[in-house]
Amino acid sequence: MKKSKVLIIYTGGTIGMVQDVDSGSLKPFSFSSIAKQIPELKKFNCSIKAVSFKEPIDSSNMNPSHWVEMASVIEKNYAKYDGFVILHGSDTMAYSASALSFVFENLAKSIILTGSQLPVGEIRTDAKENLITAVEIAASKHKEKSIVPEVCIYFDYQLFRGNRAVKFSSTKFEAFQSFNFPILAEAGVNITYNTDDILKPPKKKLVVHKKFCNEIAIIHFFPGITSDYVSNILQNQRLKAVILKTFGAGNAPKIDWLAKEVKNAVKEGKIVFNVSQCERGEITQGKYETSKWLKDAGVIAGKDITTEAAITKLMYLMAGGYSNTKVKKLLMSNLRGEMSP
């Protein structure tokens, strides 16, 4: 077997934070300092190179332009490397992983996002294990092909499909969960892969999509929601799509003014996408009277998609130049494993 080559892309995040002497707050620093803290990387039987954002950022500052920057680095180096590891802050990692899954169509290599809950220099840091195993997974091949040809998140001994993961804890090392889809691998003495659930890459040329439309909004339903709140969003002429964060299996208050606002938004050409507030389960519009009116109004059911994947999927599709009919069809389709067929 040829020696695997892995490219590490450092964007910033807690894994590479250092305490500012003046303010006492944490801020990103260079990847070279991380490498010094993890000498184990030199022991791998693979070639590892690293590139860094010119100015590493806290992931709360992440935006679509940074997704394009990551995608461009990978596209430029795709033929040179067998796998890629992106060091990223955990706060918006699920958004970036979801976005990148839509960026790379026909992906045949591993893109593993990882980070940590504690900076790499801390005594009890989780940074070392996360980075070391992420590199090992990115380098792993079977019959000269990547074992996990997907965009994934690796955290605390578990590998998740990137567009199925959500951050659910800010204090535990076990920061991520995949509530509606099995983990793809688990690291113990050995790394055990769940091969049945790993995507099989189509034998087609890689296509890289690097446009996003952020003219979308979210309406998070709550008891007592007002018409002013809803209308200010749905009547905004600059918005092209709106996500409804509904109760349970896709239910929303059955109120005349609300039904009218949603119907008018759909008639005006806005895409309205129904996503559950529940982490586990799926949207079943029409099961209850409180969701049937949404279906009748032309709202698209998001099935078991995460909010992060719903947002980035809409951003990707709305920038694709498709007709509304095509966007609706693709929203209901499983494009990158982001929802159950």
Q: Contact at 8 Å (CB) between 114 and 134? A: yes
State the pLDDT at residue 123: 83
> Residue 124, Cα to own-chain centre: how many angstroms?
27
State the pLDDT at residue 146: 96
State the pLDDT at residue 30: 67
Joined tokens for residue 53: 């954002």
Phi-psi region of 160 (alpha: psi -120 to 50; beta: other; left: phi over 0): beta
- Give the C-alpha separation, 92 to 162, whole Å: 12
- Give the C-alpha separation, 16 to 173, whole Å: 16
> Residue 230, Cα to own-chain centre: how many angstroms?
27
> In the chain, which residues fall in CATH 3.40.50.1170?
4-208
Burial class from Cβ neighbours inside 10 Å (0-12, 13-18, 19+) for residue 7 reads buried
pLDDT in tens, 74-105: 999 999 999 999 999 999 999 999 999 999 99
Q: Contact at 8 Å (CB) between 103 and 74? A: no
- Nearest alpha carbon to residue 110 among 191, 199, 47: 199
- Which parts of the chain sit beneath pLDDT 50? none
* AA identity, residue 131: L
pLDDT in tens, 99-131: 999 999 999 999 999 999 998 878 898 989 999
3-state secondary structure labels for all residues of 115-154: CCCCCCCCCCCCHHHHHHHHHHHHHCEECCEECCCCEEEE
Length of the chain equals 341
- Residues with a catalytic annotation lie at 14
- Give the C-alpha separation, 96 to 62, whole Å: 8
> In the chain, which residues fall in CATH 3.40.50.40?
216-331
Burial class from Cβ neighbours inside 10 Å (0-12, 13-18, 19+) for residue 256 reads exposed
State the pLDDT at residue 236: 97
State the pLDDT at residue 21: 67
Joined tokens for residue 236: 């905004």
State the pLDDT at residue 109: 98
State the pLDDT at residue 125: 87
Q: Contact at 8 Å (CB) between 159 and 137? A: yes
Is the domain spanning 4-208 CATH 2.60.40.10? The answer is: no
Beta bridge partners of 271: 241
Residue carrying the six token digits 């909004």: 217
Angle made by CA atoms 287, 289, 290, in degrees to the nearest 5: 100
CATH number of 216-331: 3.40.50.40
Q: Contact at 8 Å (CB) between 281 and 311? A: no
